[in-house]
């Protein structure tokens, strides 16, 4: 089902209200797999004339996907940028959760994914496209610029295991020039011959059986004192033949990671991952720490990959109730905005006496009362 959304014309207001105890909440969660595999932002921006309408369309799209994700764990939304289907400010978007995630974990992953994709600067620079791959969900968006054959309007599509926005209709796309393979740094320390054979058998199984299993499969191979676990999934908009094509490509590409302990393929139409740790079905395995790697494509598109904690972006009421709401989205964006403005990360560590959010709240209260701050 495709949902059409009329562009909002109001001003986007943001208010962040922080309670001092909010940073001390320790939620009880399973594993929403919010570690970031890659954030890919295009280096193209909307024209000055189209920026205002583009930002309005982008906001309408992001607003529309939240209730759909909450209802069915994927979303497809259409935003028209005006009466003309060729309107230059139209936006496409798509998002989807991994099918092994619970509803609560899907909501958590998508809220994080949606917040992080703002680092592509759609507001500040009117960046025309971006993708955010988390280990549990995905989002993509892109600004439209022309009519797509066979369709009478512009649209936004979102599915969350991956977050994406784009300037053309990519819904049936299996592969693209921006597809990526991400390999871990560490190599397998045991019997590499057995590990190599096990991994190749595993990814072959994922690529051949997932298309026949509603586009999704988790599996493991254990032999020769080595175990390897994997997941393969095609996005909701990809048909079976395109799913076959995408996962076959992923299988060939991910083999380049062997004998690394972990590998991921981030394709336009599918996702594949293998690891020496069982990461799927809410297994509760500890997330590994990691740094951040910055890369650039041939057209200087920026890619950021890494692993980072994300609970600090979550609204207190979401952590307590596990409900994904528009207010929680505004809170998450507010936290990110404060970090960008201050150049400091929000801290929730117990050894820090005052967090960045608390300082902002104190400043707001003092300034409202007319007292000097400092």
Cα–Cα distance, 57 to 51 (Å, whole number): 10
Q: Which of 278, 308, 329 is the last residue of a domain?
A: 278
- For the chain, the first-to-last Cα distance in angstroms comes to 55
The residue range of the domain holding 256 is 181-278
| Token output for 25 | 């909440």
With a CB cutoff of 8 Å and minimum separation 6, the contacts of 28 are none
Residue 263 pLDDT > 50: yes
Q: Are residues 167 and 20 in the same domain?
A: yes
At residue 318, φ and ψ (nearest 5 deg) are -70, -40
| For range 242-249, the mean pLDDT | 95
> What pLDDT does 279 receive?
95
Tokens 């505004």, located at residue: 330
Could you give the angle at which helices 192-209 and 240-254 cross, rounded to 10 degrees? Answer: 170
The three-class DSSP label of residue 162 is strand
Rounded average pLDDT over 343-365: 55
* CA dist., res. 21 & res. 158, Å (int): 34
Residues 186 and 317 in one domain: no
Question: Cα–Cα distance between 96 and 236 in angstroms, integer?
Answer: 8
Q: Report the pLDDT value the prediction gives residue 312, as an integer from 0 to 100.
A: 53
Task: Report the distance separating Cα 253 and Cα 247, nearest Å.
Answer: 10
pLDDT at 145 over 90: no
Q: Which of 215-219, 276-280, 331-335 has the lowest mean pLDDT?
A: 331-335
More confident residue, 121 or 300: 121
Q: What is the pLDDT of residue 123?
A: 83
What CATH number does residue 341 fall under?
A: 3.30.430.20
Q: Which of 278, 311, 339 is the last residue of a domain?
A: 278
Q: Which two tokens stand for residue 302?
A: 């920026």
29 and 160 share one domain: yes
Pick the range with the lowest mean pLDDT from 90-94, 151-155, 232-236, 322-326.
151-155
Residue 227: per-residue pLDDT: 95
Q: Verify that 7 and 132 share a domain, yes or no.
A: yes
Q: Are residues 134 and 189 in the same domain?
A: no
Residue among 356, 363, 359 nearest 336 (CA) = 356
Same domain, 96 and 217: no
* Of 166 and 276, more confident: 276
What is the pLDDT at residue 280?
92
Whether 287 is covered by a domain: the verdict is no
Question: What pLDDT sits at residue 70?
Answer: 87
Separation between Cα atoms, residue 280 and residue 232, nearest integer Å = 11
The listed range with the strongest mean pLDDT (6-15, 145-154, 188-197, 282-291) is: 188-197
pLDDT, residue 339, reads: 65
Return the pLDDT at 202.
97
Listed in sequence order, the residues at least 6 apart from 163 whose beta carbon sits closer than 8 Å to its beta carbon are 95, 110, 113, 114, 116, 117, 130, 131, 132, 133, 134, 137, 138, 139, 140, 141
Query: Do 21 and 145 have their domain in common?
Result: yes
Q: Specify the pLDDT at position 359.
A: 65
The total number of structural domains that make up the chain = 2
Q: How far apart are CA 158 and CA 65, in angstroms?
A: 6
User: Which domain-ending residue is among 244, 278, 312?
Assistant: 278
Query: 288 in a domain, yes or no?
Result: no
The predicted-structure confidence for 40-94, as pLDDT tens digits, reads as follows 988 888 888 888 888 888 888 888 888 888 888 888 777 876 544 445 567 888 8
Verify that 199 and 324 share a domain, yes or no: no
């Amino acid at each position: 089902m495709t949902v059409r959304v009329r562009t909002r014309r109001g001003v986007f207001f943001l208010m962040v209200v922080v309670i001092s105890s909010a940073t001390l909440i320790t939620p009880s969660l399973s594993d929403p797999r919010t570690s970031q595999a890659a954030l890919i932002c295009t280096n193209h921006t909307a024209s000055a004339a189209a920026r205002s309408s583009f930002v309005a369309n982008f906001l309408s799209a992001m607003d529309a996907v939240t209730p759909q994700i909450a209802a069915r764990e994927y979303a497809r939304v259409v935003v028209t940028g005006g009466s003309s289907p060729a309107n230059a400010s139209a936006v496409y978007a798509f998002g989807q959760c991994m099918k092994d995630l619970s509803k609560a974990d899907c909501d958590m992953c998508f809220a994080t994914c949606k917040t992080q994709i703002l680092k592509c600067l759609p507001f500040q620079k009117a960046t025309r496209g971006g993708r955010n791959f988390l280990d549990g969900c995905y989002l993509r968006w892109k600004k439209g610029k022309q009519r797509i054959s066979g369709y009478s309007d512009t649209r936004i599509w979102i599915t969350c295991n991956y977050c994406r926005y784009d300037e053309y209709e990519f819904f049936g796309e299996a592969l693209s020039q921006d597809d990526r393979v991400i390999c871990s740094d560490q190599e397998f320390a045991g019997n590499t011959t057995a590990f190599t054979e096990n991994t190749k058998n595993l990814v072959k199984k994922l690529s051949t059986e997932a298309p026949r299993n509603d586009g999704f499969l988790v599996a493991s191979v254990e032999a020769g004192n080595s175990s390897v676990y994997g997941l393969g999934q095609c996005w909701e908009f990809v048909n079976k033949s395109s799913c076959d094509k995408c996962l076959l490509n992923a299988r060939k590409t991910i083999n380049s990671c062997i004998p690394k302990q972990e590998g991921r393929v981030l394709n336009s139409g599918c996702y594949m991952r293998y690891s020496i740790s069982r990461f799927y079905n809410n297994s509760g395995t500890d997330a590994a720490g990691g740094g951040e790697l910055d890369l650039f494509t041939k057209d200087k598109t920026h890619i950021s990959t890494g692993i980072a904690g994300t609970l600090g972006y979550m609204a207190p009421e979401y952590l307590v109730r596990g409900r994904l709401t528009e207010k929680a989205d505004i809170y998450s964006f507010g936290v990110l905005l404060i970090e960008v403005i201050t150049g400091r990360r929000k801290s929730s560590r117990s050894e820090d006496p005052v967090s960045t959010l608390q300082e902002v709240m104190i400043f707001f209260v003092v300034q409202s009362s007319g007292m000097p701050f400092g």
